[in-house]
Amino acid sequence: MPDQTTDRPNTPMLDQINRPADLKSLSDTQLAQVARELRSETISAVSVTGGHLGAGLGVVELTVALHAVFDTPRDKLVWDVSHQCYPHKILTERRDRIRTLRTKDGLSGFTKRTESPYDPFGAAHSSTSISAALGFSVAHDLGGVVPEGSGDAIAVIGDGAMSAGMAFEAMNNAGHLGKRLFVILNDNEMSIAPPVGALSSYLSRLYAEEPFQELKAAAKGAVSLLPEPFREGAKRAKDMLKGMAVGGTLFESLGFSYLGPIDGHDLNQLLPVLRTVRARATGPVLIHVLTKKGKGYAPAEAARDKGHATAKFDVVTGEQKKSPSNAPSYTGVFGDELVKLAAKDDKICAVTAAMPDGTGLNLFAERYPSRCFDVGIAEQHGVTFAAALAAGGMKPFCAMYSTFLQRGYDQVVHDVAIQRLPVRFAIDRAGLVGADGATHAGSFDIGFMANLPGMVVMAAADEAELVHMVATAAAHDDGPIAFRYPRGEGEGVEIPDKPQVLEIGKGRMIQTGARVALLSFGTRLGEVRKAAEALSAKGITPTIADARFAKPLDREMILDLAANHEALITIEEGAVGGFGSHVAQLLADEGVFDAGLKYRSMVLPDIFIDQASPADMYRVAGMDAAQIEAKVLDVLGVATIGEKRA
């Protein structure tokens, strides 16, 4: 197998480029050479780090063209989602660290303001770029001052991301304000899964028509907006118009000039179009660019997800280097269990927001296509849609990652909780997620779900518990219910044949000990057990309980633990304001602290934790077995050996 560290591609032209300004002196032919080398460098880098490959490969030429034509970082280039930003990072003074992508202390896999002035706006959740670019454009006009200077604003947004409400809210506002603004619609006919919905069909219709048309402009005779090579095409479009009534494109109705579609892999098209709009545009312009996700790397082009996300891989064969797994993933366990339940109950249905594979609903979609809904990147709509499915007599499971559910929060409150509708929230990727970093951490859902009246909130301690919780959610029909589970593999416990419907608000005792009670909510239970073993060796046997529910709390069990122990410690994979806060409130309300209970709550610290392995991130958070053990010793006033020596 070739040594990845020495098997670097040959990149003589790219080696001359230290910053985007260096592109300015190159000819178009040389820029094409830079693009070829940039593609090889991107493939080589991701082969060692893993990460988002397909999206970056799709925008290699676009990245070169944008940096060659515009004046970054003075001009603000905003990448939507920003999972396609690796080629951008290579061109913007970060090539020396590109093989640290997504690792501890390395480059982020997304754009990040603190990382580089070339990243004027961070992202990772989709569909924010047009709003951000519009903000930059308006700040520029109002005389806002930033160290890099302020110029044009350019948003690059994918066809998947364009399907979200926020993108349209921004276009509506941008069209109204009429400011100079560039939106590049990077249309690769892919989201993570194939894109869904009417917008996607609309875009397909646009490029099925005559290329290079700017219909409305052509109709007005405004052909001169187009660069020379395209005037001919526009003239043809104008001629075409004579024979047909054209209402203009959707984008034009929103107040944008529409240009396209153009081939996003052809610099001979990209460069003149970008140069011309830069020279002439006075208002918002949308440039519709057609690209191929995974372009130029056969294994990515051939993959089902077009290389959207990949593990480390062998460049020559494309074979991914996945570590063998010992246990099924939580996502898979959820998907399997839901399929089983749906076989017995035809009211069970499922909603995903553009993540059928990521949430395990792909299995459900195959078996029950008419009961599975991929709503596109539209969490807000997805939640309200699920609310009405419930109001209409169905049993909807709304499966979303914790981090993306944040976007649908008002809908959770207003449409689901206030109306007490039995939507079942399957909250995947709860807790710290690893390489995707702070933007993807599922840190807040315990807090923001458990503070809603009438919401039941569960966390699975292992995959068997998850099975029970899926069944419990299916059976719970008098209000909303949520269950959270982490990214990755389960604990390796046996999956129960028959799921149990859990009693709402009842926890379970794991072991009975003395002096200290460890009350776990979710998958930290494994670390709690390890800590307890280490403590036993030191003569302290803690009591361990699994809360199962953050709402409603098992008051009886918790008050009992408090009454019978000198100290009580809660632990959860979430930020302050979650399970531990609810327990503290209960104990305070019941006057338990008046009697002198030593209480500690282990939650994620009040910082955004940068990417690393989940284990490393939990160490930063102070939540691994050794740290739980230290907490127990500390609360009991038992000095650790190190401290005694000191």
Chain residues that interact with ligand TPP, rule: CB under 6 A: 55, 58, 81, 83-84, 125-126, 158-161, 188, 190-192, 293, 308, 353-354, 377, 379, 404, 407
Name which of 379, 392, 381, 343 is nearest 364 in CA terms: 343
Shortest distance in whole angstroms from residue 599 CB to ligand TPP: 37
Q: Which residue is nearest to ligand TPP (CB)?
A: 158
Residues with catalytic annotation?
A: 293, 379, 407
Minimum CB–partner distance for residue 159 and ligand TPP (Å): 5
Residue 552, preceding peptide bond in cis (omega within 30° of 0):
yes
Minimum distance, C-beta of residue 123 to ligand TPP, in the bound complex (Å): 8
Closest distance to ligand TPP from the beta carbon of 523 (Å)? 22
Q: How far apart are CA 162 and CA 199, in angstroms?
A: 8
H/E stretch holding 80 reads none
Spatial distance between the Cα atoms of 382 and 368, rounded to a whole number of angstroms: 18
Question: Running DSSP on this structure, what letter comes out for residue 435?
Answer: T
311 half-sphere exposure, CB direction, 13 A CA radius: 7
Instruction: Compute φ and ψ for 408, nearest 5 degrees.
Output: -100, 20
- Identify the sign of the CA torsion 440, 481, 368, 374: negative
Q: Which is nearer to ligand TPP, 378 or 481 (CB)?
A: 378
Question: In the bound complex, what is the minimum distance in angstroms from residue 183's beta carbon to ligand TPP?
Answer: 13
Residues 6+ apart with CB under 8 A from 488: 329, 330, 614
Question: Angle at Cα 558 formed by Cα 553 and Cα 561, nearest 5°?
Answer: 165
Nearest to 443 by CA among 455, 457, 429: 429
Residues in the chain: 646
CA-wise closest residue to 583 among 549, 616, 615, 542: 549
Angle 506-511-514 from CA coordinates, rounded to 5°: 110
Beta strand 424-428 with 395-401 is parallel
CB of 140 to ligand TPP, least distance (A): 26
Considering the complex, what minimum distance in angstroms separates the CB of residue 542 from ligand TPP?
40
Comparing CB distances to ligand TPP, the nearer of 352 and 581 is 352
Q: How far is CA 78 from CA 84, 88, 580, in A?
A: 11, 11, 38
CB of 353 or CB of 450, closer to ligand TPP = 353
Q: Whose Cβ is closer to ligand TPP: residue 56's or residue 431's?
A: 56
Residue closer to ligand TPP by CB (options 23, 405) is: 405
